Amino acid sequence: MQLRQILSSAVSRLTAENVPSPRLNAELLLMFTLSCDRAYLYAHPERELSADENNRYDDALATRIQGVPAQYITGHQEFWGMDLIVTPAVLIPRPETEHLIETTLDRVQVSPLAAPLRIADIGTGSGCIALALAKELPEAEIYATDISTAALEVARANASRHQLESRIRFLEADLLAGIEANSFDFVISNPPYVGESEEDHVQLEVRKFEPRNAVFAGPTGTEVIARLIPQARAALKPGGWLVMEVSGTIVESVKGLLSEWDDLRVNVDLQSIPRVILARK
């Protein structure tokens, strides 16, 4: 069968199985199967697939239909213009997390902080935040922690893939444990912030396939952040910034936890949902 027919029957199959964005998924998995880009799919609609390619595409579609996110099948996700490796050991980086990078770069520009900047990314997962900041701030010293050994392996692989391994120090730690006091200009984190009480509202794919300790913080969603805030205060230099990703559900509680900090601000995402909270020590 030709590529064009195979793609169209895959879209119908994914649609019938209620997979969201069926065309996007069908194309992504075909690009993965054929190791090609989207332009190739459109330029070669008459290409015949081999039996092996057909079988591999069929397997990928069947896995997607079971609910496995496409990124865990292809092993890749783009973040801040970088192609990152993802495995089920790490949260799939989300586009909204790029607001953390924008907010941090904005603060770097306007804050009178002495060089070299020292930045800690807490709960680094795939390493997406640490890598994006290392890329944008070539002079900065960057630390990245995670409690998960498997996640840190992925983060290290991503750093090496983007020639940033000498720029980031990865540490296996519970939040900021072992980090020197009064030594950082920025503490950045996209921590687990979903409450177990909201579990029924979380997409099934996230619940079933993404690491539980990357998503859920405890009963209310603020448990990890409540521990992170005093630790960040101890680690930051006076005038240093804490920048965290939050959701609309927890933003008011988090504001309460930051009441003693200066310059408290909340930035919204493209859907006007509160997404980034920042405050200065």
Ligand X SMILES: C[S@@+](CC[C@H](N)C(=O)[O-])C[C@H]1O[C@@H](n2cnc3c(N)ncnc32)[C@H](O)[C@@H]1O
Applying CB under 6 A, which residues contact ligand X? 90-91, 93, 97, 123-126, 128-129, 145-148, 151, 174-175, 190-192, 213-214, 224
**Minimum distance of ligand X from residue 92's CB (angstroms):** 7
Name residue 191's amino acid. P
**Minimum distance of ligand X from residue 100's CB (angstroms):** 7
CB closer to ligand X, 123 vs 195: 123
**Minimum distance of ligand X from residue 251's CB (angstroms):** 16
CB closer to ligand X, 29 vs 188: 188
Element (H, E) at 172: strand 168-172
Could you tell me where the DSSP H helices lie in the chain? Answer: 3-16, 22-34, 38-43, 51-65, 70-74, 98-110, 128-136, 149-161, 204-209, 212-215, 223-235, 251-257
Under a CB-based contact definition with an 8 Å cutoff, are residues 7 and 50 in contact? no
CB closer to ligand X, 145 vs 249: 145
CB closer to ligand X, 22 vs 127: 127
CB closer to ligand X, 6 vs 152: 152
Distance CA 67, CA 205 (A): 6
CB closer to ligand X, 54 vs 247: 247
**Minimum distance of ligand X from residue 1's CB (angstroms):** 38
Under a CB-based contact definition with an 8 Å cutoff, are residues 135 and 82 in contact? yes
Distance CA 135, CA 164 (A): 8
**Minimum distance of ligand X from residue 151's CB (angstroms):** 4
Q: Is the dihedral of CA 180, 181, 185, 189 positive or negative?
A: positive
Query: 10 Å Cβ neighbour count for 143?
Result: 23
**Minimum distance of ligand X from residue 97's CB (angstroms):** 4
| 3-class secondary-structure state, position 265 | strand
User: Quick one: which of 217, 240, 214, 212 has its CA closest to 227?
Assistant: 217
CB closer to ligand X, 125 vs 221: 125
Distance CA 267, CA 103 (A): 8
**Minimum distance of ligand X from residue 30's CB (angstroms):** 26
